[in-house]
A and B are shown apart, each in its own frame.
Chain A
Amino acid sequence: QKEVEQNSGPLSVPEGAIASLNCTYSDRGSQSFFWYRQYSGKSPELIMFIYSNGDKEDGRFTAQLNKASQYVSLLIRDSQPSDSATYLCAVRRGSTLGRLYFGRGTQLTVWP
């Protein structure tokens, strides 16, 4: 079982819709959870992190964490074509000082 799993996609949504990206993780001791966005040919950039159960909102982005079910999701409201990218989920396990475990990413396309 992989440490972090994401639906590979691609996920395609129309402009203005809500895009929902999901991620599951295997280590129940995981403590911090991160979402990165990566445009084609570019390096990953941090969008959000979350460490408490529930929702965390930042502009059009909402991260949701459910530790009991071991999943974390990212919702993008009012999706824009500029949101088209690969989204990486990353998890910090409780036993590691700084190492993150990355999923393979979900490719999102927002069409006008």
Chain B
Amino acid sequence: DVKVTQSSRYLVKRTGEKVFLECVQDMDHENMFWYRQDPGLGLRLIYFSYDVKMKEKGDIPEGYSVSREKKERFSLILESASTNQTSMYLCASSSLRDLLGSNQPQHFGDGTRLSIL
């Protein structure tokens, strides 16, 4: 089974802090994704990566950056945390080519509930 591990389930930080959220997958997946999920707004894509050292902006990249130095690890960085970044953050990974062709389901980690005070 695919295992996507997020470093923290719950995290509390203060406004202005630099915050790191870590995600590791053990299936040698090429693709990795960071989402945030808020009530009524659904899943919103922040950033994604197709390969090491590559990154693409999603729909809401402002205030965030990412790092992918190794294939299995994808980090989300809040440069200067603000209260409107309080949310559930979900990491996901997928294979560029899965066994059945190009269906590429994404597999999610357990999520990090981040509170910015």
Chain A residues in the interface with B (C-beta under 8 A): 31-32, 34, 42-46, 49, 51, 88, 90, 92, 97-100, 102-105
Interface size of B as a range: 20 to 34
Which residue from B41, B50, B58 sits with its C-beta under 8 Å from A98?
B50
Give the residues in chain B near A97, CB-CB below 8 Å: 31, 50, 96, 104
Please classify the interface of chain B as helix (H, G, I), strand (E, B), loop, or mixed, using the class held by over half of its residues: loop
Complex CA gap A2/B106 in Å reads 21
User: A100 — which chain B residues lie within 8 A by C-beta?
Assistant: 104, 106
Chain A binding surface, main DSSP class: loop
Contacts between the two chains (Cβ within 8 Å), count: 56
Report the minimum CB–CB distance from A103 to chain B (whole Å): 7
Cβ–Cβ contact B103 & A32, under 8 A: yes
10 A-B pairs whose Cβ atoms sit less than 8 Å apart in the complex = A32-B103, A43-B109, A45-B108, A46-B106, A92-B102, A98-B31, A98-B50, A98-B95, A100-B106, A104-B40
Q: How far is the CB of A111 from chain B (nearest CB, A)?
A: 22
A98/B104 in contact, CB under 8 A: yes
Distance (Å) between the CB of A40 and the closest chain B CB?
11
Bound together, the chains give a CA A92 to CA B94 distance in angstroms of 12
Which residues of chain A come closer than 8 Å to B79, judged between CB atoms?
none
Question: Are the CB atoms of B42 and A102 closer together than 8 Å?
Answer: yes
Residue of B nearest to A8 (CB): B40
Query: Chain B contacts of A43 at CB under 8 A?
Result: 90, 108-111
* CA A43 to CA B50, docked complex, whole Å: 22
Q: Which residues of B contact A99 (CB under 8 A)?
A: 33, 45, 48, 58
